[in-house]
Structure 1
Amino acid sequence: MKNLFLILVCALLGTQAMASKVDTIAVYSESMKKNSPTVVILPDSYSSKKKQHYPVVYLLHGYGGNYAAWVKAAKSTASLADTYQCIIVCPDGAIGSWYFDSPVDSAYKYETFVAKELVAYTDKNYRTIADREHRAITGLSMGGHGGLYLGMRHKDTFGAIGSMSGGVDFRPFPTKWDIAKRLGEYSANPGRWEAYTATAQVPLIKNGDVKIIIDCGVKDFFIDVNRQLHQKLLDLNIEHDYTERPGEHNWKYWDNAVHYQFLYFSRFFNQPVVAKK
C-alpha cells in the first residue's frame, strides 16, 4: 500500500507539472509593422471559475534562439507557471536584436515591442495584475542583457528585473553576435556601443527603484562583465542579488538558474503592499 501511495503521489505531481497551458500567438508590432510570434504560458488555475488575475514574467531568449527556446530547451519552464501561479510570456527577439531599438536598422525596434507593445497586448488580452509590482522581466545571454536593459529603462513598467549569463556589456566582443549590424562598427561608434549596454543604464535607477537578480556561471565568457556590473551596483549602494555558481554558457546552467529567478520574482510579487504616505 505504501508503494502504491507513492506511485499515486508521483502521478499526481507529474500531472500538476504538465497542467499549465502553452500557446503560441502572433502579436502585431506597430513599430516594426509585423507580427511577432510569442509563447504564452498560463498556469493550471487560469481556466478555473474563480477568474483570478496573475502576475507576469517576461522571459527572453538568447542570441540564435527564438520565442520557443525556453519551452523546448528547458523542459521545466512551463511548470513554473503552476508553481508560482503566474503567466509567462516569451517573445521573439529575432537574431541579434539585443532587445533595444536599433539606431541604424528601423526593422529592429525590440525595446518598443517588448517593453511597450507586448506589455499592453498582454494586459489587454489576459487576466494580469497590470502594475509594476506584479511584472518582472529576465532572460539568458542576449536576453539577460534585455532583462536588465529594458528593466532599468522602464522601471515604471517592471518592478523586478533579472539576468542569467547576461551579455550586460558587449564592448569586449566587437565582432560577435550581430551587434555591429544593430549599432554600426565598434571602431567608428564606441560611444554608441557603450550607451546601449545594460551596464550603462545603471545611472537611470537609484536604490530601491527595482528589485534586481543577476546570475552567472564562473566558467561563462560573460563572467567578467557581470562581475564589473556587480561592482558598479555595489559602488552605488544599489541593493541586488548576485550569484556565481559552477557552470558555463549552456542550457544546463539556465535550466537550473531560472528556478532561482522565479522564486525571487514570486517573493517580490507576494510582498506586503506598503501604503504610500
Structure 2
Amino acid sequence: MKKIIYSIVLLLLIFTARAAKVDTLQVFSASMQKNIKTCVVVPDHYKKSKKAFPVVYLLHGYSGNYASWAKDFKELGKQVDEYGFIVVGVDGNYSSWYFDSPLDPSFKYETYVVKELVPFIDKQYRTIADRKARAISGLSMGGHGALYLSFKHQDVFGAAGSMSGGVDFRPFPENWDIKKRLGTITEHPENWDKNTVTNMLDLVKDNKLKLIIDCGVDDFFMTVNRELHAKMLAQKINHDYIERPGEHNLKYWENSLKYQLLFFHDFFDENLKTK
C-alpha cells in the first residue's frame, strides 16, 4: 500500500513540475514548398490569461530536430511555467546551419525561420510581436544559427544566445555536412567566410542586441568561442560570456539552458515594463 501511495505521489510531482503544454504543429514553408514540424511550449496559465507573451526560439544542433528541446530537456516545462514565456522548438533539418544555402535551393532555413515561422507563431499564439519580446538561442549548430539569424535580423530579435556554438566552422571543413550547403572550402571560400558568425561582427557594433555566449572548456568548439569573445571585446560589442567545466553534451546544455532562459527573462522584464 505504501508503495502504491508513493508511486501516485511521485507521478503527481512529475506532472505538476511539467504542467506547461506542448503543441506539435506543421508549418508550411512557401520558400521550400514543404511542411516543417515545430513544437511550441506554453505556460500552464496561457489559456486562462488574456495577456500576450514573449517568445524564445530554440535551435537544435546537428542531427537533432524540433522535438529535441521538449524531449531531452526535462526541466523545460517547469522553466516555461516559472518565467511565463512561450518557447518554440525550431526544426532546422539535421544539417541546415540555419542559413539559406547559396548552392541548394531546397535549404532556405534563414528565410523559413525569419519570414515564415515567426509570423506564423505570432498569428497562432498570443505573442508580443516585437523584437523587445523575442529572443533566440541554440546549441552547437543551433548556437551558430541563433547568432547568425539575430545578427542579420535585429528588427526581429532583441536578444540572442549560443550554447557550445560552432561560431566559426571554417576549421572544420569536412564536418557536419557544411560543404553540402556551401560547397567545399577550397572551391567556395567566399561562402564559408560570408556565412560564419565570427566574420559578421560589423552587424552588431551598435550594441542593439542583448547577447549571451557560453561554452564548456573541454568542448571542441572552445577555441573558436574564445576567439569570437576576444574579437567582440576588441570591437567593444557588449555581451555576457561564460566558460565553465563541461563538454559537448546534454549534461552541459541542460545546465547552460538555465542561464540562458534566466538571461532572456531578465531581458523581457527590463524591456516590457511599460507594456
> What band does the TM-score fall into relative to the shorter chain?
over 0.9
* Equivalent residues in 2 for 1:24-63, closer than 5 Å: 24-48=24-48, 50-63=49-62
Deviations 1:207-235 (A, max 9, x none): 42100000100000000110011011100
Higher mean alpha-carbon deviation, 125-134 vs 187-196, is at 187-196
Deviation at 1:73, TM superposition (A): 1.5
**CA–CA distance in 2 between the matches of 1:61 and 1:262?**
15
Aligned to 1:185: 184
Deviation at 1:205, TM superposition (A): 1.4
Aligned to 2:143: 144
Letter in 2 for 1:178: D
Structure 1: segments with no counterpart, 5+ residues: 1-8
Relative distance call for 1:130 and 1:192 in structure 2 (3 A) is: same
Letter in 2 for 1:259: K
Matched residue of 2:22: which SS?
strand
Structure 2: segments with no counterpart, 5+ residues: 1-8
Deviation at 1:14, TM superposition (A): 4.8
Aligned to 2:166: 167
Letter in 1 for 2:244: R
Aligned to 2:4: none
Matched residue of 1:270: which SS?
helix
**CA–CA distance in 2 between the matches of 1:28 and 1:193?**
29
Deviation at 1:272, TM superposition (A): 4.8
* Equivalent residues in 2 for 1:176-255, closer than 5 Å: 176-255=175-254
Hey, which bits of structure 1, 4+ residues long, moved more than 2 A? Answer: 9-17, 272-275
**CA–CA distance in 2 between the matches of 1:196 and 1:134?**
26
Matched residue of 2:270: which SS?
coil
Letter in 1 for 2:247: E
* Equivalent residues in 2 for 1:250-269, closer than 5 Å: 250-269=249-268
Aligned to 1:19: 19
**CA–CA distance in 2 between the matches of 1:228 and 1:16?**
43
Aligned to 2:5: none
**CA–CA distance in 2 between the matches of 1:130 and 1:156?**
11
Aligned to 1:75: 74
Whether 1:154 aligns to 2:153 is: yes
Deviation at 1:274, TM superposition (A): 8.9
Deviation at 1:10, TM superposition (A): 9.2
Deviation at 1:198, TM superposition (A): 1.3
Relative distance call for 1:51 and 1:148 in structure 2 (3 A) is: same
CA RMSD in angstroms comes to 1.7
Matched residue of 1:117: which SS?
helix
Deviations 1:9-42 (A, max 9, x none): 9998755421100111000001100000001001
Letter in 1 for 2:42: L
Deviations 1:145-198 (A, max 9, x none): 011000100011000000000001100000000000000011111121011011
**CA–CA distance in 2 between the matches of 1:103 and 1:119?**
22
Higher mean alpha-carbon deviation, 233-242 vs 205-214, is at 205-214
Letter in 1 for 2:149: L
Identity of aligned pairs, percent?
57
Relative distance call for 1:210 and 1:39 in structure 2 (3 A) is: same
Relative distance call for 1:233 and 1:26 in structure 2 (3 A) is: same
Instruction: Give the conservation status (yes or no) of the 8 Å contact 2:137–2:147.
Output: yes
Instruction: Give the conservation status (yes or no) of the 8 Å contact 1:215–1:243.
Output: yes
**CA–CA distance in 1 between the matches of 2:16 and 2:256?**
22
Letter in 2 for 1:37: K
Matched residue of 1:248: which SS?
coil
**CA–CA distance in 2 between the matches of 1:251 and 1:237?**
32
Instruction: Give the conservation status (yes or no) of the 8 Å contact 2:99–2:110.
Output: yes
Instruction: Give the conservation status (yes or no) of the 8 Å contact 2:133–2:272.
Output: no
Letter in 2 for 1:57: V
